[in-house]
């Protein structure tokens, strides 16, 4: 059933599906209904990290080196965890500066340097093309395994002519795909939405395929993981496999690989492409930072079981276990699914990597060369735009062919098998220039250049050259004795550092040399103004007040700028730049000066298509008197930091002021209230004083005007006058008392006394009066003596006042009063109750206000109760002065008003 026709049908059917998805994605993008505007699609597109090397090679690595394969995925997990600090910054810079690739990014950081961009593009090309070859090889091998099983795949691989190789045809189809969906627009900083959608789909396919084969192996070939591991435990050779001792280089190898994966994840051109260039929305990073690691975890979940199962069953080449295990069980469908999964892993990588590389080749290598030929500058409208697209397309075909040739000619040598990690170390050489440049403003172009070259050479010497030696192209004595017998130059043990795994060893030396040269040379070189500006814009990219206005001050005419844009980008793109700026470009504006903003827009538009370095060259060719405003940029950044600090302090101060203002406001309100109360008090006092005064005056006038008034009548008038005078002086005494109490000037003669005795005395005082009015007064004193500290006269004043009030408000028909004295919890309580109507709950505090007099119930008595309305306030003030309290409580026995006086008990001593 596994005929070539069926397989080819599956392969090209799958590729056809990719075309459809990509075309659909692009259509939706044109309609403004993007399908990649989702964090999940973004996370899936990042999973292009998992190539055929993951799909087939992880199992191979696990079978050989135990758990070390996981490091390739733990590094990116940490990198994604750090994405709010690193990748977010890169994404923001790329969006602002219209960055098209990692080469463009590094070139832009170091003053839009043409040389640095070309260097990065060249290194990428050298390190990554073999990696593309590895993917094509994976397709060829997996196809051969599928076709030839149960025979060995080798016979097919050796006998086949290269034009019979399926991967050549796959490469050609991919070239068409990439040209169609990767070079639709000139503007490389525009997103390739269709391509990203297809990549996301591929990520799903490879995940599903790998999980399917994993589940099959664990649960169908074996009865669950327990059974599998139990069998492994019985095989001594395997039971040690999953320990640290299987990891090449042991602990240092572990850490080295961890760091390597972290750096490579950020610097591999395809990762930069999907992480940064194709990012639609910075916010997507939040979801991707955990979803992508989750994807990695899932796709690795079954690697160890598959590797162990393959070893147990002795299934041949570990790199092909994922295919061989289902084949050996006689399945037909699953191997095909696995093959498609591997195909999707390989094609996804090839597509993105080729787009990234072709953009670099056209923008960083070819374009700067073209711009040197003056002839091209006088090309006709938009011709260069087409040129550029053509260059990119040719580059795509060439890169793929190069990859294919690499695979076809030297495919079986050692150097290709290990190229995955070798490429990682090569790409990691960009890390110092990229990461240090992202955080240290002082890193200069020359430092980056020298560091990069030295790092690259070290990588070549410690990894690439030994690879050639192992492939038999060089004398293997190089590896054992060193070049010309100089042992400390041995590539795998530089300066005698042996015992390390070769990748950690190479990474250590190349990074050490690369980074220290970058830092060292930067400290002794002076950056150009453009470099300084770019350095500031990169390192401060997350600064909240980073200026977005033009930083260059140059002069040119709108006409010259328009002509430049038309020549390089075409008429439409030129119109777009001018349209965004203001109105359409009109011929009569030819000679008007172009604003700084317009110049900046034009440069950005050029950068999005040709790369930053070429855009700068072109803009410089028409703009005169360029004066870079580095001073103002730096001072702007510094002053904004200061301003932020000032703002923070200012806010603190104003908060403080607002709080003080509120305090003042409430104090003022309180004062007004007190003022109002004072006015009320004065009015009331005047009123209270006037009543007796008026009657005294009236009677006195009668007596004065009528000397012959009858004696009994005279006596009556005089007695009224005496009574009213007494009332007047009592009132004045009370007011004085109150004033003294409130101002705290009243002196109380506090001494220990017996409250019970005092109560008895008070009761005696009022007894006669009560008898006259038929009031029944009951006294219940629980404790004798009830020792308190107080002023006897004043306390008696309180008791009398309470008794007097009670007699006034008791039920007029059967007046009753109860006085109780009891002790509770170190306090003495004196309670006076009557059987009147009581005091409503809401009026219980009002009765203690000055001149407040309860409006007795209209039905009972319509006249005002006698008294000044000062008795209770005075009583409460005295009680408070003596450390006690006076309040109204719910009636307990007689159902009328119930006043309670509480005083702290004094010890008998």
Partner 1 sequence: MTPLNPRYRERLLALVILALVLFCPPVLLIIDRLPSSNIGWLPGYLFGAWTVIIGLTAWLMEHPKRR
Q: Which residues here bind partner 1, judged by CB under 8 A?
A: 66-67, 70, 74, 77-78, 80-82, 84-85, 229-230, 232-233, 238-239, 241-244, 251, 254-255, 258, 286-287, 289-291, 293-294, 297, 301, 304, 308, 542, 544
- Paired strand residues for 627: 553
- Paired strand residues for 624: 555
Is residue 150 reached through a cis peptide bond, with omega within 30 degrees of 0 on the bond before it? yes
Tell me whether residue 78 or residue 750 sits nearer to partner 1 (CB atom).
78
The residue among 128, 247, 252 whose CA lies nearest residue 506 is 252
DSSP labels for 682-709? HHHHHHHHHHHHHHHHHHHHHHHH-TT-
- What's the closest the beta carbon of residue 244 comes to partner 1, in angstroms? 5
- What's the closest the beta carbon of residue 264 comes to partner 1, in angstroms? 16
| 57/417 Cα distance (integer angstroms) | 10
Tell me whether residue 243 or residue 678 sits nearer to partner 1 (CB atom).
243
Tell me whether residue 256 or residue 342 sits nearer to partner 1 (CB atom).
256
- What's the closest the beta carbon of residue 263 comes to partner 1, in angstroms? 15
Tell me whether residue 542 or residue 702 sits nearer to partner 1 (CB atom).
542
Tell me whether residue 2 or residue 92 sits nearer to partner 1 (CB atom).
92
Angle value at C-alpha 667, between 661 and 668, nearest 5 degrees: 90
- What's the closest the beta carbon of residue 295 comes to partner 1, in angstroms? 10
Decide: 104 and 287 in contact? Cβ < 8 Å: no
Which ranges of 83-235 does DSSP label H, i.e. alpha helix? Answer: 87-97, 102-109, 114-148, 154-159, 166-182, 193-216, 224-233
- What's the closest the beta carbon of residue 273 comes to partner 1, in angstroms? 23
> On the CB side of 31, how many CA atoms lie within 13 Å of its CA?
10
Question: Distances in Å between the alpha carbon of 501 and those of 66, 151, 498?
Answer: 14, 35, 8
- 740-768 burial, b at 16+ Cβ within 10 Å, e below that, comes to ebeeeebeeebeebbbbebbbebbeebee
> On the CB side of 322, how many CA atoms lie within 13 Å of its CA?
37
- What's the closest the beta carbon of residue 235 comes to partner 1, in angstroms? 10
- What's the closest the beta carbon of residue 479 comes to partner 1, in angstroms? 28
| 432/516 Cα distance (integer angstroms) | 9
- What's the closest the beta carbon of residue 22 comes to partner 1, in angstroms? 30
> On the CB side of 601, how many CA atoms lie within 13 Å of its CA?
18
> On the CB side of 327, how many CA atoms lie within 13 Å of its CA?
25
Tell me whether residue 78 or residue 401 sits nearer to partner 1 (CB atom).
78
- What's the closest the beta carbon of residue 50 comes to partner 1, in angstroms? 15
- What's the closest the beta carbon of residue 499 comes to partner 1, in angstroms? 15
Between the two ends of the chain, the Cα-to-Cα distance in Å is: 114
| 837/491 Cα distance (integer angstroms) | 110
Tell me whether residue 308 or residue 817 sits nearer to partner 1 (CB atom).
308
Decide: 594 and 561 in contact? Cβ < 8 Å: yes
- What's the closest the beta carbon of residue 272 comes to partner 1, in angstroms? 21
- What's the closest the beta carbon of residue 72 comes to partner 1, in angstroms? 13
Tell me whether residue 232 or residue 599 sits nearer to partner 1 (CB atom).
232
Tell me whether residue 66 or residue 447 sits nearer to partner 1 (CB atom).
66
Tell me whether residue 287 or residue 714 sits nearer to partner 1 (CB atom).
287
| 491/488 Cα distance (integer angstroms) | 9
Which residues, including other chains, have CB under 8 Å from residue 380's CB and lie 6 or more apart?
567
- What's the closest the beta carbon of residue 82 comes to partner 1, in angstroms? 6
| 13/24 Cα distance (integer angstroms) | 16
> Which is it for strands 885-888 and 816-824: parallel, antiparallel or unpaired?
unpaired
| 841/833 Cα distance (integer angstroms) | 16
Tell me whether residue 21 or residue 537 sits nearer to partner 1 (CB atom).
537
Lay out the sheet containing 816-824: strands in order across: 776-781, 816-824, 827-834, 898-904, 885-888
Tell me whether residue 164 or residue 244 sits nearer to partner 1 (CB atom).
244
Tell me whether residue 251 or residue 908 sits nearer to partner 1 (CB atom).
251
Which ranges of 773-832 does DSSP label H, i.e. alpha helix? Answer: 792-809
């Amino acid at each position: 059933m596994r005929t070539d026709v069926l397989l080819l049908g599956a392969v090209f059917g799958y590729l056809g599906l990719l075309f459809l998805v990509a075309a659909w994605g692009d259509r939706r993008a044109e309609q403004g209904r993007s399908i990649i505007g989702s964090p999940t699609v973004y996370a899936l597109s990042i999973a292009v990290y998992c190539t055929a090397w993951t799909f087939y090679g992880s199992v191979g690595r696990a079978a050989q080196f135990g758990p070390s394969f996981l490091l390739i995925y733990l590094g990116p997990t940490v990198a994604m965890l750090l994405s709010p600090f690193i990748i977010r910054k890169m994404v923001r810079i790329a969006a602002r500066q219209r960055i098209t690739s990692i080469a463009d990014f590094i070139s832009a950081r170091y003053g839009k340097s043409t040389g640095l961009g070309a260097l990065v593009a060249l290194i990428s090309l050298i390190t990554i093309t073999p990696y593309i070859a590895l993917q094509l090889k994976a397709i060829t091998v997996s196809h051969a395994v599928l076709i030839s099983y149960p025979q060995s795949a080798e016979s097919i691989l050796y006998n086949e002519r290269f034009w019979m190789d399926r991967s050549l045809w796959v490469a050609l189809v991919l070239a068409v795909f990439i040209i169609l969906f990767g070079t639709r627009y000139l503007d490389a900083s525009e997103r390739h939405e269709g391509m990203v959608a297809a990549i996301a789909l591929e990520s799903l396919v490879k995940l599903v395929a790998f999980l399917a084969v994993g589940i099959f192996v664990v649960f169908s070939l074996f009865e669950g993981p327990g059974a599998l591991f139990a069998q492994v435990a019985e095989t001594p050779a395997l039971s040690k496999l999953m320990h640290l001792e299987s990891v090449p280089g042991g602990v240092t190898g572990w850490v080295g690989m961890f760091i390597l994966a972290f750096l490579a994840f950020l610097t591999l051109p395809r990762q930069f492409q999907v992480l940064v260039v194709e990012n639609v929305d910075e916010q997507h990073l939040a979801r991707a930072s955990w979803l992508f690691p989750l994807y990695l975890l899932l796709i690795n979940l079954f690697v160890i079981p598959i590797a162990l199962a393959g070893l147990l069953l002795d299934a041949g080449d570990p790199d092909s276990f994922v295919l061989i295990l289902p084949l050996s069980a006689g399945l037909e469908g699953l191997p095909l699914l696995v093959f498609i999964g591997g195909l999707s892993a390989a094609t996804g990588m090839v597509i993105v990597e080729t787009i990234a590389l072709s953009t670099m080749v056209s923008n960083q290598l070819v374009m700067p060369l073209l711009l040197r030929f003056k002839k091209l500058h006088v090309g006709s409208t938009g011709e260069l735009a087409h040129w550029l697209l053509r260059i990119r397309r040719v580059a795509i075909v060439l890169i793929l062919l190069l990859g294919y040739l690499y695979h076809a000619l030297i495919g079986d040598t050692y150097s290709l098998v290990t190229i995955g990690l070798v490429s990682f170390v090569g790409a990691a050489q960009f890390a110092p220039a990229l990461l240090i440049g992202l955080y240290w403003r002082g890193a200069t172009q020359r430092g980056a250049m020298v560091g990069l070259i030295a790092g690259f050479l070290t990588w070549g010497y410690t990894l690439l050259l030994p690879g050639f030696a192992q492939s038999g192209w060089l004398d293997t004595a190089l590896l054992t004795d060193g070049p010309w017998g100089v042992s400390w130059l041995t590539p795998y043990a530089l300066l005698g550092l042996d015992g390390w795994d070769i990748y950690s060893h190479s990474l250590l030396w190349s990074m050490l040399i690369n980074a220290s040269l970058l830092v060292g040379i930067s400290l002794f070189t002076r950056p150009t103004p453009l470099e300084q500006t770019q350095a500031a814009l990169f390192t401060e990219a997350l600064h909240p007040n980073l200026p977005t206005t033009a930083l260059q001050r140059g002069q040119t005419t709108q006409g010259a700028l328009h002509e430049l844009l038309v020549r390089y980008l075409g008429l439409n793109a030129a119109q777009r730049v001018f349209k965004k700026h203001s109105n359409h470009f009109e011929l009569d504006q030819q000679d008007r000066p172009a604003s700084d903003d317009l110049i900046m827009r034009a440069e950005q538009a050029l950068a999005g298509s040709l790369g930053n370095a070429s855009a700068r060259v072109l803009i410089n060719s028409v703009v005169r008197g360029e004066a870079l405003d580095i001073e103002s940029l730096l001072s702007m950044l510094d002053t904004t930091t200061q301003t932020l600090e000032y703002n923070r302090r200012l806010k603190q101060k104003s908060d403080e002021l607002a709080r003080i203002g509120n305090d003042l406001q409430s104090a003022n309100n309180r004062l007004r209230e007190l003022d109002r109360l004072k006015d009320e008090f004065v009015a009331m006092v005047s009123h209270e004083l006037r009543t007796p005064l008026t009657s005294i005056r009236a009677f006195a006038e009668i007596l004065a005007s009528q000397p012959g008034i009858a004696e009994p009548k005279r006596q009556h008038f005089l007695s009224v006058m005496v009574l009213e005078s007494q009332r007047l002086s009592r009132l004045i005494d009370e007011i004085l008392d109150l004033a003294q109490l409130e101002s705290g000037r009243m002196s109380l003669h506090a001494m220990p006394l017996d409250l019970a005795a005092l109560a008895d005395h008070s009761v005696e005082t009022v007894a006669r009066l009560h008898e006259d009015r038929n009031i029944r007064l009951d006294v219940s004193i629980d404790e004798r003596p009830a020792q308190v500290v107080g002023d006897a006269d004043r306390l008696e004043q309180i008791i009398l006042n309470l008794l007097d009030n009670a007699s006034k408000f008791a039920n007029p028909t059967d007046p009753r009063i109860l006085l109780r004295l009891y002790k509770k919890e170190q306090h003495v309580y004196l309670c006076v109750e009557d059987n009147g109507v009581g005091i409503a709950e809401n009026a219980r505090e009002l009765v203690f206000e000055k001149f407040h007099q309860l409006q007795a119930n209209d039905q009972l008595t319509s006249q005002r109760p006698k008294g000044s309305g000062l008795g209770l306030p005075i009583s409460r003030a005295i009680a408070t002065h003596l450390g006690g309290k006076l309040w109204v409580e719910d009636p307990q026995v007689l159902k009328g008003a119930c006043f309670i006086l509480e005083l702290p008990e004094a010890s008998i001593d």
